[in-house]
Amino acid sequence: MSPLDHRTIDRLAEVIVDLGGPYERKGYQLEELLRSAGWAQPPEYDGSPRIPWLREQLVERAGNRAEIERLICRVCDPIEYDDGVVTAEEFRLSVNEKLAPEGLVVTSVGGRPVLGELTADGEQPRYSVPPDLRKRLDSLIADAGAVEMLNRRVEETQVCEAGGAYTMAIIGIGSFVEGLLLTILSERDGEVKAGDRLTLHQLIETAHLRDWIQLDAKTFAHNVRDFRNFIHPRKEMVEQPRFDADSVMLCWAPVHAILNDLEQKLVPAGER
């Protein structure tokens, strides 16, 4: 995702504030929205007109693609609203109308909003590696060596995806999720050590138990885990999957949701 055009930012600010509308956000609610989206050092509302104020915050963070993505998804997240899906869906439709010229779309994957790029025909969402991944890993993980390892695995996964080795790409995505959760839990949870022989299933369940990833993200992660298990030839021979580029794309979508949850729940590594 490239930085949004200033006119798109203007339109998004209007949608989010909904001035005079049924979902109008007060100043304190805008502050809370930015905090809930996991913005680092979220600004305090200064009492000025709300739409220009929010526009200014979006412009200042325009280069931080991860924070902009999390805010867009939070606006479309059922957890943000008392009536859940009903209001979230109204916002998602409005947000998508503003994002369409940028070639972006928010879709609901298993009940969670995920930002993707539209295909060339503008009809379908496409998911790939989360934006600014290296920067986001640096924020979540203190161990520079672990960040380097995880980044390398993603790069190798992209090589497999580009070369049509879809099964290996899916295995690579699952491996990345396992390394991500193991590293974060070993750094931030006193009960988990880097040398522990925890399965990916246990890592996912523990992250959810700590309330670091939501229920839907947990479910997504288990789907990726199941696909990752095709590393075992016997499983592939028995189930005979026919993975393609769409299969890989659908495995990247849960990674977006997992990262968004972790960033919303955990303080940056440099602030601990």
Per-position pLDDT tens, the chain of length 272: 678 999 999 999 999 999 999 999 999 999 999 999 989 889 999 999 999 999 999 999 988 888 999 999 999 999 999 998 999 999 999 999 999 999 999 988 777 888 988 876 666 778 889 878 998 999 999 999 999 999 999 999 999 999 999 999 999 999 999 999 999 999 998 888 767 788 999 999 999 999 999 888 888 888 889 888 888 888 888 888 888 988 898 889 889 889 989 988 898 886 66
Nearest in space to 248 (alpha carbons), one of 137, 171, 152: 171
Token pair 């298993």 is found at 110
Closest CA to 132 of 24, 3, 20: 3
Are 127 and 114 in contact by the 8 Å Cβ rule? The answer is: yes
Residues in the chain: 272
CB 260 within 8 A of CB 38: yes
The rounded distance, in Å, linking the Cα atoms of 155 and 160 is 9
Predicted confidence at residue 157, as pLDDT, reads: 95
Identify the H or E element spanning 15.
helix 6-17
Q: Residue 202, SS3? A: helix
| Distances from the Cα of 146 to the Cα of 1, 87, 94, 151, angstroms | 25, 40, 40, 8
State how far the Cα of 241 lies from the Cα of 258, in Å rounded to an integer: 25
Answer for the pair 106, 236: CB distance below 8 angstroms, yes or no: no
The first and second tokens of residue 261, run together, are 């949850």
| Single-letter code of the amino acid located at 252 | W
Residue 57 and residue 34 in contact, taking contact as beta carbons nearer than 8 Å: yes
